[in-house]
Structure 1
Amino acid sequence: MPQTMAGPVPRLADYGIDEATGFLSNPPPLRRLPAYFEPWEQVLDDLHQLLVAGALRTRVRKLPMMDTSRLGPKPEWHRAFMVLSFIAHSHIIGIPKVDTVEPIIPEVIARPWFAIAKKLELKPVISYAAVELANWFLLDPEGPLDLSNIAIQHTFSGVFDEAWFYLIPLGMEAVGAPSIKAMVDAQEAILRDDESAVAAALHIVTDCIDKMCVMLKRMYEKNDPHIFWSRIRNYSGGSKNNANLPNGLFFEGVTEIDADVNQCVPPPKGLVGTWRCYAGASAGQSPLIHSLDVGLGVHHASMPQKSSDSPATKAPAVNPMLEMREYLSAEQRAFFKALGEAPSIREYVSSLSSTSAAQIEFNNAIRALKSFRDIHIQITTVYIILQQKKEAASTGAMSPKGTVGTGGTDLVPFLRQTRQETIDALVKST
């Protein structure tokens, strides 16, 4: 039966979502900022060479202070956010396992980066929004939106393994894009009490997730696990739960106090600014994945806290998937809210017979999403957990008890809980 108390079905265009390309912008992201911002662009042009020469940090400190108010349309702001994210994290990391991690971000980068992030309602940290959604182009502007034609604008390391690591999620965003319209089509059909239309829309969702599974499995093709672990992964890390950055990152010249500031540590001597802690880039920041969770009614609960945590100091329990939404754009977060308040697909199919096509298609979609998360766990095992164990064995260190993801989460419990929450969304026959 239709749900009269639900909110309106969201219009994709109201949230900057393209019916054909989904969360991949149409036209593609900007490839260069206006001439005034050439000092930033030139650092990015020379990024790999500066890192190899050990000259990046000196070059960054010599940058002029740029006026962010001279940025124009929104694509320029997104480009600037991506450019500064690459420069800042290159300055922090240098070359992994060669250079010492630098926790202080110079004012010439920290202030404009923070201002741009605030304008976009993003966090000033490397994120999916930067390395994925603002970092691609089409080899042939008239060609297809798929891996045969999508290319990466910038990488930290200069190796094709890193480009492939970014390309696979973009490929998933592309093949999964029709599922977004299909879910809102299903919600429209619920208002008409049209079971067959709901079933047809859910069939599209399942087909999209199946294609995303195939795409995710291609990660192994051109991304060597050892290269990923030793040369790529570090750049994606944030300062949350990062042993190399116990106080977070110091944003020189940024004095604003908010929830991300670590006020327990004083500024370095002679400097003015704030210590800040952020999660890094994570696949858990994909707006497509969050849309599927919200649209299909996958409920993410707070993760249990360790009994050894001190009640006086531990933060409130939160589910990492929900926390990752804070790293998505304001438009995307608004879309998830509207999608969740519109007619519930899961609630609707639950009211139908277990033999109805709509309920069967819904469960097929949930099972496909569970398979997707199975594949993600397998890839995480190969690229992170096993590599961490190999590194520990090679140095004679004890194998670590847990693995922290680039998003700052306790990786294995987080992924397992998310998979179980997906299974729990299945509509069971009564």
Structure 2
Amino acid sequence: MQALDAYDMSAERGFLCQFNAGDISLTGDLATVGDVALSLPSLLPTGRVRALLRDRLPDIDIAAVLQSCGDAEARMAMVHYSFMVQAYVWGEANPPEVLPRCLSAPIVALADHLGQQPLLAYSGYVLDNWAEVERGQGLTLDNTRMIQQFLGGQDEAWFVLIHVAIEAAAGGALARMPKVVEATAAEDIGAIRTLLEEIAQVWEGINGIFDRMPERCDPYIYFARVRPYIHGWKDNPAMPHGLLYEGVERFGTQGRAFRGQTGSQSSIVPSMDALLGVGHAHDPMKAYLDELHIYRPPAHRRFIEDLRAQSGLRSFVERCGDPGLTEAYNANIKAVADFRSRHLEYAASYINRQTRAATGNDTEVGTGGTPFMRYLKKHRDETRERLLPVREKQRA
């Protein structure tokens, strides 16, 4: 496998952006775009956010802008535009059929440039949407802030910042994965066991962060004030014909459907699945999981794909039969299963048990457009089923 930076990753930040997003200053028309986007908490409560966005957004030459700006600037522009697209679609009572040119042309051009999809994805919601409160003090919950918001407030920020903290914490596990692949190829049992024990320890911290979600994100507030804006328009009954991207020639005159932002677009758990050899049964839920792969940044997709292709960990652990190695392997299986159990519990309390509040905000369907309870339970159970039997230690 390649070095972590080739996958736009690091041990300190994991899959989070490797630049300091809070330091990126957009210039020219993009500066105006950023100002309009950052005013969404003031625009959305008016109930006429669509007219306000159409009036205030400049008609920019996005092709020229992309020729002159760097990767960090393009990604921050994507954060701002993707939030405005979501606000335009879901910020009033009934979703529109058409996305106006002032939003459609830039979001499609930015998505093409970055190798992503033209709406809000996890990368724009979480990975590129944070800043340190005090520089150099660590990416922890007490030292990060959310840059771009919809309505604003503690619950919205905390929901995103929990994910930011998890992504940062996961860097320590992700950095060890190529080393596990290398040690497995060398059949170095001791090195593999040590690395797996260290990865499992990292997961204790990840699950500890995830446990803190209820501290400052209330289930009702999440469902009624945070979740409505992150839905997509694929498999969403509120938008049966998708969304027409005005002026985007290659899309023609037909509506296009894309899946909404979801934590399942994070690359952490798929990386663990790839390392550990955890597969999922072929059914509609597996197809959905595979489809989410294109919503990840291209470099992160390559990391997962390289792990899938090169990790022979599970077969080696089975073949080797070393009890200590098997226990270390199983500790990681249990850690991922525990994470999926927490996700399932939150999905039940934050979504499934809530009352339907608005068009498109269904208690039975996830923001990605699937029956999420069944999906989450299935993958939790399939993870648990991958535990390996531990052979008895031979007596000396």
Q: TM (normalized to structure 2)?
A: 0.92
Deviates more, 1:194-203 or 1:317-326: 317-326
Partner of 2:274: 294
After TM superposition, list the pairs within 5 Å mapping 1:192-231 onto structure 2: 192-231=186-225
The residue type paired with residue 33 of structure 1 is L
Residue identity (%) = 29
Q: Distance in 1 between matches of 2:374 and 2:48?
A: 40
Q: TM (normalized to structure 1)?
A: 0.85
Q: Distance in 2 between matches of 1:277 and 1:146?
A: 35
Partner of 2:326: 359
Is 2:317 aligned against 1:337?
no
Partner of 2:346: 379
Higher helix content, 1 or 2: 2
The question of whether the paired residues in 2 share the 8 Å contact of 1:295 and 1:340 is answered with yes
Is 2:374 aligned against 1:418?
no
The question of whether the paired residues in 1 share the 8 Å contact of 2:276 and 2:314 is answered with yes
Is 2:37 aligned against 1:36?
no
Please identify runs of 4+ aligned residues in structure 1 that moved more than 3 A. none
Partner of 1:91: 88
> How far apart are residue 429 of structure 1 and its match?
4.5
> How far apart are residue 219 of structure 1 and its match?
0.7
The question of whether the paired residues in 2 share the 8 Å contact of 1:320 and 1:414 is answered with no
> How far apart are residue 100 of structure 1 and its match?
2.8
The residue type paired with residue 176 of structure 1 is A
Is 2:316 aligned against 1:348?
yes
- Specify which of 4, 23, 37 is matched with residue 12 of structure 1: 4
SS at match of 1:331: helix
The question of whether the paired residues in 1 share the 8 Å contact of 2:19 and 2:72 is answered with no
Partner of 1:326: 294
Q: Distance in 1 between matches of 2:340 and 2:311?
A: 25
The question of whether the paired residues in 1 share the 8 Å contact of 2:33 and 2:80 is answered with yes
The question of whether the paired residues in 2 share the 8 Å contact of 1:18 and 1:25 is answered with no
Is 2:246 aligned against 1:246?
no
For structure 1, which runs of at least 5 residues remain unmatched after alignment?
A: 1-8, 258-271, 305-316, 393-399
- Alpha carbon RMSD of aligned pairs, Å? 1.9
Partner of 1:268: none
The residue type paired with residue 8 of structure 2 is G
The question of whether the paired residues in 2 share the 8 Å contact of 1:61 and 1:108 is answered with yes
Q: Distance in 1 between matches of 2:317 and 2:302?
A: 25
Is 2:51 aligned against 1:58?
yes
Q: Distance in 1 between matches of 2:25 and 2:279?
A: 40
Distance 1:75 1:146, change over 3 A: same
> How far apart are residue 103 of structure 1 and its match?
3.1
Partner of 2:260: 280
For structure 2, which runs of at least 5 residues remain unmatched after alignment?
A: 392-396
The question of whether the paired residues in 2 share the 8 Å contact of 1:93 and 1:235 is answered with yes
> How far apart are residue 255 of structure 1 and its match?
2.5
Q: Distance in 1 between matches of 2:250 and 2:235?
A: 22
Q: Distance in 2 between matches of 1:327 and 1:38?
A: 26
The residue type paired with residue 326 of structure 2 is Q
The question of whether the paired residues in 1 share the 8 Å contact of 2:42 and 2:151 is answered with no
Q: Distance in 2 between matches of 1:318 and 1:297?
A: 15
Is 2:396 aligned against 1:403?
no
> How far apart are residue 371 of structure 1 and its match?
0.8
> How far apart are residue 150 of structure 1 and its match?
1.3
